[in-house]
Structure 1
Amino acid sequence: MKTVIKNVLLGSVAGLAMVGTAAAADLPVKAKAAEYVKICSTYGAGFYYIPGTDTCLKVGGYVTADTYYTDIDAKTSVNTPTFFGRTNYDPDGQSYFLTRVGVQLDARTQTEYGTLRSYFEGRFNAGENYGFGQEIDTGAFSFSDGIRNQAEMKYGYIQFAGFTFGRATSAFDFWAGDGWQGIQPGSFYSDTTLNVIQYTADFGNGFSATIALEDSYGREDEFANFEELSGQQVPDIVANIAYEGTWGAFKVSGAWHQIGDYDPIDLVDPLLYSNDDSGWAVLAGVRFDFAETTTLYVEGAYASGAPGYLGLAGTMPVVDAYGNAVSGWYVGGALIHYWTPSVFTGLVGSYTQTDNFAVDYLVTDGTDTYEGISSTDFTGYNVGVNIGWVPVKGLTLVLQYDYLSAEYSGSDISELVSYSQEATQNRVTFSAKRSF
């Protein structure tokens, strides 16, 4: 009996050992801990740590789809002792579409010198553009129906220890057209993105100052850059003093712009060169924030020999026919009010005018030919009103109307010849923008 019991016990132990061995073989191997994305709250919502690093990254973007209807009217008048002529260009209204996709990347890392930041915004544009431009040498308005299928880098810069390197907003600018809606904003103000080296000193309590070297090619058109400026020998020097507080903000800025040895009358056999070798510009702007529902911008600027700082690159020359720097100014601003958290309206606009400057002309009236130097000026303004709705977070729908007027007029010193060229534009924009 004892032997039977012993054999049963031994068999049971052996069986349990075999079962334990089999169960152990079936257990899964312990996997490595998964590396989950970690939220980075240091710089606000939307940032997360790039796995394996201490760098925080925010990925964002937007899609804007615009529909435009524009009606343009242009007039040209010429008056000589034997002839008076007037031509009108009044085409039927035009409709066109523009679409823009933007991709934004913002990477930040804390260092012993402060935040190291890299920022990028790429834009992809597609559609047809119907509008007008103005020739810099004659002031003539030209109309085009050009293709706007393109990719561009709007921003691409590095910020470190107060320095900014790369493509960024000019240190000169303040009101950058805030209040205008859509891919094609209004005209006649300074809003420029270009290559820069900037240093900003933060004095605390909202006060700061910036000194910068900025690419002058980004401010002028091709004719001015390679003819009137003789290429870029020295970058533009820009400085500002700014304040940002609970009530709003203000900025005072100035810029120096080199003028090259340009002969405005005779490029083949130069006899006269630029009398001024330096252009300059100043700006003052203020923003008021009222009760978190209303924002008011007011800005003014004056420039001499630096039309790009007035938003007039290609519209007015850097120097006139006598080699003197051409001067002008503008005032502009916007009033934006949120009636509810999802409904807002805006009133926006600007006005610009140049001082009188000399240009050479050649006019044939069918009987005689007149050639000489005339005194002229440029005047323009653009005003708009819009209403917007934010039905859900990230989606903005806007309907906007704006009116633009641009006029180039003058007469020669003897008053024998006078002329004017004027263009007006009525435009309606419907814009849908999805930000994420």
Structure 2
Amino acid sequence: TSGSDVYSTNLLAYTATLGNGFSATLSMEDPSFRRSPVYAPTAALSATVGNTSTQIFGQANSLIPVVLGVNAAGQPIGFGFTDGIQRNRMPDFVGVLRYDQPWGSAQLSAAVHEINTGNVITQGGFLGTNSAGAALTATNANTARTQSEYGWAVQGGLKVNAPFIAPGDAFYLQGAYAEGAQMYTGNGSYNGSYSINPTSIEGASFNQNFSDATINPFTNQLQLSTSFSVIGSFLHYWSPEWRSAVFASYGENTFGAGARAAQGAYYGFVPTTGTNIGSTVISTLGVGTPGTRFYALNGNLRDTYMLYAGANLIWSPVKDLDIGVEGIYAQYGVQNGRVLDTQKFNYTAAYVNAGNPVKTITSTDVFQARFRVQRDF
């Protein structure tokens, strides 16, 4: 399901028992595995940065175009790249207030998560004006480093013991909301949000985007994404050796207002002579040019939702040994409109914009079953 658990996180925490069932925890935690990359549209690019030839293949999630020069009509005529790889500069700070009673427990927690980028790599030979209308030449074609932003998340959880049904039975309910910290709502955990558009659900009709933020190419500022999730489950013991769980969750990922249109403003831009990038076309994985058919139908940076539901049956013949089966249904789709079904055919912008027939969908379904044997020591 959607969920914010990240296993094996390095942390330093202190918990105080306050009495009457209350406790409080403060924690500093390694942010590495709670990051979803800042959105980058470039797939493979060979560029000359200044006087140094740089091969930038395999950097799909790091080099982020930033517009440095525009013409009188406001169209891009020069750009650089922001190094989008985040560094471990500040731990995540997490605070928890918990209440435990014989009937169950309740918890409220919050987290702060830094988003940072590297320097801007500028190109030479720009003419025209920058995004503020100031004259732009090869000597002043640069921009300030992207300012860090601070994502945050809040979460509430409730466990209600149900011994009146069977010993050990319990209901669980959890809800989380985040800005710039999608891993805390867990919507990308199922199919892997450590990549911008993971493909871990093989055969799916389109890939979701998971990014904590995008960079506005005209302002070089981070725009945070938002997400939320709600999860419910019920654990039931048929006997001391046999138990089952049923569970379901729903979540949504939404990108910043205008973020998609801003990314599309330079899609397919071919650098002019003097930018030292030859005729390379950037944004091969981008959103397309606003107003075109490809922009309306491709799945990049689309707001999406996720729905998961499942059940299992577990047999524990001895302590710490679980043998069982589990079935899961997953559906994810776009919050509005339609997207290209790329399960069997990878459409190009030129093909789609030419008016050729395409197959589109609003959501994709996945069914999974597994047999599990687990021994804990």
TM > 0.5 between the two?
yes
- Aligned position for 1:130: none
- Aligned position for 2:223: 324
- In 2, the alpha carbon distance for the partners of 1:304 and 1:333 equals 22
- Aligned position for 2:169: 294
Segment drifting more, 372-381 vs 190-199: 372-381
Asked if the contact 1:380–1:407 (Cα under 8 Å) also holds between the matched residues in 2, the reply is: yes
- In 2, the alpha carbon distance for the partners of 1:272 and 1:297 equals 47
**Cα RMSD for the two superposed structures:** 3.6
- In 2, the alpha carbon distance for the partners of 1:201 and 1:405 equals 41
- Aligned position for 2:308: 382
TM-score, length-normalised on structure 2? 0.55
- Aligned position for 1:183: none
2:220 corresponds to 1:405: no
Higher strand share: 1
- Aligned position for 1:210: 25
Asked if the contact 1:295–1:335 (Cα under 8 Å) also holds between the matched residues in 2, the reply is: yes
- Aligned position for 1:198: 13
- Aligned position for 2:67: none
2:253 corresponds to 1:354: yes
Q: After superposition, give the CA deviation of every residue in 1:111-159 in whole Å (9 maximum; x if it has no partner).
A: xxxxxxxxxxxxxxxxxxxxxxxxxxxxxxxxxxxxxxxxxxxxxxxxx
Asked if the contact 2:328–2:368 (Cα under 8 Å) also holds between the matched residues in 1, the reply is: yes
SS at match of 1:324: strand
- In 2, the alpha carbon distance for the partners of 1:272 and 1:378 equals 32
* Correspondent of 2:371 among 388, 410, 430: 430
For these two proteins, the number of residue pairs brought into alignment is 241
SS at match of 2:107: strand
Percent identical across equivalent pairs? 26
SS at match of 2:305: strand
TM-score, length-normalised on structure 1? 0.48
Q: Mark the runs of 5 or more structure 2 residues left unpaired by the alignment.
A: 40-60, 63-82, 124-141, 195-208, 217-221, 269-280, 282-286, 339-351
Shift of 1:403: 0.8
Shift of 1:401: 0.7
- In 2, the alpha carbon distance for the partners of 1:262 and 1:328 equals 25
- Aligned position for 1:249: 105
Q: Indicate how the Cα distance of structure 1 residues 370 and 256 shifts in structure 2: closer, same or farther if over 3 A, else same.
A: closer
Shift of 1:327: 0.6
Q: Indicate how the Cα distance of structure 1 residues 275 and 402 shifts in structure 2: closer, same or farther if over 3 A, else same.
A: same
How do 1:25-36 residues align onto structure 2 when only pairs under 5 Å count? none
Asked if the contact 2:224–2:255 (Cα under 8 Å) also holds between the matched residues in 1, the reply is: no
Q: Indicate how the Cα distance of structure 1 residues 306 and 279 shifts in structure 2: closer, same or farther if over 3 A, else same.
A: same
Asked if the contact 1:345–1:385 (Cα under 8 Å) also holds between the matched residues in 2, the reply is: yes
Q: Mark the runs of 5 or more structure 1 residues left unpaired by the alignment.
A: 1-186
Shift of 1:192: 1.1
- In 1, the alpha carbon distance for the partners of 2:103 and 2:177 equals 26
Tell me which amino acid in the other structure corresponds to 2:373: A
Q: Indicate how the Cα distance of structure 1 residues 295 and 272 shifts in structure 2: closer, same or farther if over 3 A, else same.
A: farther
* Correspondent of 2:183 among 308, 314, 323: 308
- In 1, the alpha carbon distance for the partners of 2:15 and 2:38 equals 32
Q: After superposition, give the CA deviation of every residue in 1:14-61 in whole Å (9 maximum; x if it has no partner).
A: xxxxxxxxxxxxxxxxxxxxxxxxxxxxxxxxxxxxxxxxxxxxxxxx
Q: After superposition, give the CA deviation of every residue in 1:41-84 in whole Å (9 maximum; x if it has no partner).
A: xxxxxxxxxxxxxxxxxxxxxxxxxxxxxxxxxxxxxxxxxxxx
- In 2, the alpha carbon distance for the partners of 1:208 and 1:426 equals 40
